[in-house]
Amino acid sequence: MTLTPQQIAADPCPLAAEVAVGKGDRFQIRPLLATDTERLGLFFDALTDASRRVYGPHPLNSEHAKVLCDQIDYGMSLRFVALGPLPTAAQQIVGYMILDLGTRESDAGRYAQVGRPLDGSITATFAPVIADAWQEHGLGSAMIPVITEAARQVGRRQIVLMGGVRDDNPRARHFYEKFGFVRVGGFVAGGVDNHDMILQLPDD
């Protein structure tokens, strides 16, 4: 059964999960809520230049956190956050993963060019970032199954990367490959090589 935006807004719990990483640090993964403005702003403001260099889906500051939290539309985008470690830092966001329901024109154009046209009604567009202090601790890997399951629950059958992944970001490329994303094409943006990757979600 496909969850509707109204059902998610009424109760986001079916898309939420608690995960454990590393030596047992626990995090809550759940859709972004209207009440997350301040903690999402703190998360964005703290991202380092190194993360900003490879991650730029939208402005990463507290002003934009307010825009996102004021304009939540689960029919357009499921933005997931990781909070923790639990229980001491249950109000701290340490991970943020965008799952747009549909495709961006710029991405769709490139897929069409390589003979892989995207059906926006079954495709989600993905862009993840983990707080610098928690990168490479397994948190991103722990979030992925929660997000792919959510994608399935809202009727998606495939996930593409938002704006691809930079060739000079081997950690992210490894991360995507580890979860089954495959390269379907490449492009140059701002003088940098990028790769388009797609993940087919399993049927029920």
Ligand X SMILES: CC(C)(COP(=O)(O)OP(=O)(O)OC[C@H]1O[C@@H](n2cnc3c(N)ncnc32)[C@H](O)[C@@H]1OP(=O)(O)O)[C@@H](O)C(=O)NCCC(=O)NCCS
- Binding-site ranges for ligand X (CB under 6 A): 51, 54-55, 128-130, 135-141, 161, 165, 169-172, 174-175, 178
Q: Tell me the DSSP string of 103-148.
A: --HHHHHHHHHTT----TTTEEEEEEEE-GGGTTTTHHHHHHHHHH
Nearest distance in Å: CB 39, ligand X: 17
Q: Which is nearer to ligand X, 74 or 181 (CB)?
A: 181
Give yes or no for a contact between 19 and 27, defined as CB atoms under 8 angstroms apart: yes
Query: How many beta carbons lie within 10 A of that of residue 41, not counting itself?
Result: 20
The residue whose two tokens read 């994608």 is 151
Taking a C-beta distance cutoff of 8 angstroms, is the pair 162, 104 a contact? yes
Closer to ligand X by Cβ: residue 3 or 84: 84
CB atoms within 10 A of CB 74: 20
Task: Name which of 17 and 161 has its Cβ closer to ligand X.
Answer: 161
Name the residue nearer to ligand X (CB basis): 43 or 74.
43
Find the residue with minimal CB distance to ligand X: 140
CB of 135 to ligand X, least distance (A): 4
User: CB 94 → ligand X: shortest distance, Å?
Assistant: 9
Q: Cβ of residue 30: shortest distance to ligand X, in angstroms?
A: 17
- CB of 46: closest distance to ligand X in angstroms? 12
Give the DSSP H/E element, type plus range, for residue 69.
Answer: helix 62-70
Q: What is the closest distance, in whole angstroms, from the C-beta atom of residue 7 to ligand X in the complex?
A: 28
Give whichever of 74 and 175 is closer to ligand X, judged by the CB atom: 175
Cis status of the peptide bond prior to 85, with omega within 30 of 0: yes
Structure tokens at 117: 């046209």
Q: Which residue's CB is nearer to ligand X, number 58 or number 178? A: 178
Closest residue by Cα to residue 72 from 36, 105, 120, 18: 36
